[in-house]
């Protein structure tokens, strides 16, 4: 389990004084990027090993949008590895430890040298040590991905596990993307699910 502390900045909020969805998703991305770096599995290290983590599916539950000036805890925890697949939780909490966001994500390991999915090795996951399902412990929630990506293509970097980041013209980001790669969403209950369309640069 890994957490970082942040404060909502003026540059991250909308005219309503609340964080935009774009900014919320970027917090998740930044948290996992720092986590991977801090345990010795940064993007640069993975590139040298010719490996990447690519997004397969996700589920985000949004309870409220953080407001300007608020202090936040952003956390993440890899909780399962199976074959080529890996799973990572995310959460955002306020100072009272109330949840703003809970999320789960499914990734697959990609062998850059062979250009195809590759089995996860102990070398890739040993640095993460703890494997705890933090926010989706309920059997009804576990591995329930309403935002399953379609099309059979690899989707680069996003948030969960830092991975390969190709040039702009090659990226296809569906969720947890940063910068110019933010997908279209629709609100259904308390969850946000991605529309079935690609977001290209």
pLDDT of residue 55: 78
Nearest C-alpha neighbor of 176 from the set 48, 44, 24: 24
pLDDT tens digits for range 7-39: 999 999 999 999 998 899 889 889 998 999 999
Whether pTM > 0.75 for this model: the answer is no
Question: Bridge-partner residues for 61, per DSSP?
Answer: 102, 191
pLDDT tens digits for range 143-166: 555 544 443 333 333 333 444 343
pLDDT at 138 over 50: no
Residue 175 φ/ψ, nearest 5 degrees: -160, 155
């Amino acid at each position: 389990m890994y957490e970082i502390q942040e404060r909502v900045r003026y540059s991250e909020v909308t005219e309503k004084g609340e964080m935009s969805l774009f900014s919320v998703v970027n917090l998740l991305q930044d948290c996992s990027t720092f986590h991977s770096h801090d345990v010795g599995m940064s993007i640069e290290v993975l590139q040298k090993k010719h490996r990447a983590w690519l997004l397969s599916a996700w589920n985000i539950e949004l309870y409220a949008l953080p407001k300007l000036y608020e202090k936040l805890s952003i956390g993440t925890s890899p909780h399962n590895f199976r074959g080529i697949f890996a799973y990572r939780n995310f959460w955002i909490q306020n100072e009272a430890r109330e949840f703003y966001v809970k999320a789960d994500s499914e990734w697959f390991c990609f062998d850059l040298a062979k250009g195809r999915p590759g089995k996860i090795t102990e070398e890739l996951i040993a640095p993460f040590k703890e494997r705890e399902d933090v926010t989706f412990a309920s059997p009804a929630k576990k591995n329930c991905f309403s935002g399953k990506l379609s099309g059979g293509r690899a989707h680069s970097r996003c948030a969960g596990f830092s991975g390969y980041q190709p040039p702009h013209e090659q990226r296809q980001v569906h969720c947890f993307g940063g910068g110019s790669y933010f997908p279209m969403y629709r609100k259904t209950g308390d969850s946000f699910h991605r529309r079935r369309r690609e977001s290209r640069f």
